Structure 1
Amino acid sequence: MESARRNEAELLARARGGDAAAFDLLVAEYRSELTAHCYRMLGSPQDAEDAVQESLLSAWKGLAGFEGRSSLRTWLYRISTNACLRMSARRPRRLLSPDQGPARRDTADLGEPVTGPVWLEPWPDDVPADEPDPAASYLRREGVELAFVAALQHLPGTQRAVLILREVLEFSAAEVAHQLDTTPASVNSALQRARKAVEQRVPPVSQRAELAALGAEGRRELVDAFVSAWERADVDGIVAMLADDARFTMPPLPAWFDGRADVARFLTERVFATAWRLKPMWANGQPALACYQQSPDDGRFLLGAINVLSLRDGRITELTGFLDPEVHRRFGLPRELREENAGQFSPER
């Protein structure tokens, strides 16, 4: 620890002297967690990257004003939080399908895609299974579950920042007050309001807890069973895995389906008109699937969706299908599924 502090102090001194390479090294260890923080604030990995870029540029330009009264990490969070607040004030909130309009019954009309920065986007869960620093892994994943990030988007910007900084990142009320140029009393008041609002929108049990209850073997069995049923177009098999109140959403299309019966009808009438192959993966700390649809022209299996699974008591409560090719590209997935890149599901995260 003492060696790390000395190294940081040395890099800080060099950076203040105009050494850009030293600055890059100085902030490198914080970049991933800052990006996760900005994703929670903004609901989009691309917006998060933009906010981090803006924040680090501001930090570089303002390094002479960093007096060391707080840690470098706290100072960087202050800059990035305020960058997110400015950005969120200029852009529409990122929402999920049920926030945009009512569920549909007619499977023939899925509506025209709603374009623009309006949809909550999934978070690429790219932390290696052998992540050497468990704390870093935790910081990157904690608080990125879809339902939680979606609920955050309904909060005013300051309440959103307070909840994340206090509850997820565990800064003190005094630290958060300093970051937001307010008082600890105001922070505590905003936190109470934010907690109440979020609790109304998120399940009582987190996905982390649901997955832990299933255990590694249970997670593998569930995903394997789902993949097998989907690739066989076995609607009954899929429906047996769904909760009664399961939802199927597919942004940027406005249509979504609510309840096992309507989801089953949608699967039967629309989804399995063509064949699919699935590649298990992770997103937002949840099991997910890269879904490859067979082209009627040449029989190739091309990436059509990323489906993120939400669970309750071992059943699937939501299939959130992201159809936007721009979202797919951010996950680094191959456009075409071949035998060599099919991969296997790892239940450990």
Structure 2
Amino acid sequence: MADAAWPGEHLIVAAQRGDVDSLTALVSGSHPNVRRFAHFLCATPEDAEDAAQEALITLYRKIGMLRANGALASWMFRIVRNECLRRARAMTRDHLPLTDTAVVSAEDEALQRLEAGRVAAAVASLPPDQRRVLIMRDVQGHSGRMVAEALGLSTAAMKSRLHRARAAVRHTLRATPDSAPGGHDA
């Protein structure tokens, strides 16, 4: 596959030295791989496109920070992964229901953040196909039919993946009760 190859070391070195043409070629040559990473990791195609764009901007701005020229692929994968996770967390924050309580104690707020972090980590550990379904259905609130259509699945396949994803998240959260403050064994 032609787009599977990453740009060569000579191009990376030239880009790190400030050669604008090499930097442009490096970003262009990395684009197909970065897009593939993003579509694999992000919950929606829109998030994937945005994450890929952010990763390429980071590459353009911070190529000088890359220490090992052979590590371009792993560096870009980490950037894309972090951007996809950031978008998923932001989406979760944006969809939190408003509470009737006017004042939340600092302790309660800290506990809520710790629990949200555990849930985010459990979701992030899911296989990509399950993670996409779970985020689209439970976080973004899309209908089952829309999720199935967007992912090219039958409704039954989407429901099966959603069930497995929810079960895996439940299992992960139950398996680590002591890691949360005040956790009890059930």
The TM-score by the shorter chain falls in which range?
A: 0.3 to 0.5
Q: State which structure, 1 or 2, has the greater radius of gyration over its C-alpha atoms.
A: 1
Kindly indicate which of the two structures has a greater share of residues assigned to strand.
Answer: 1
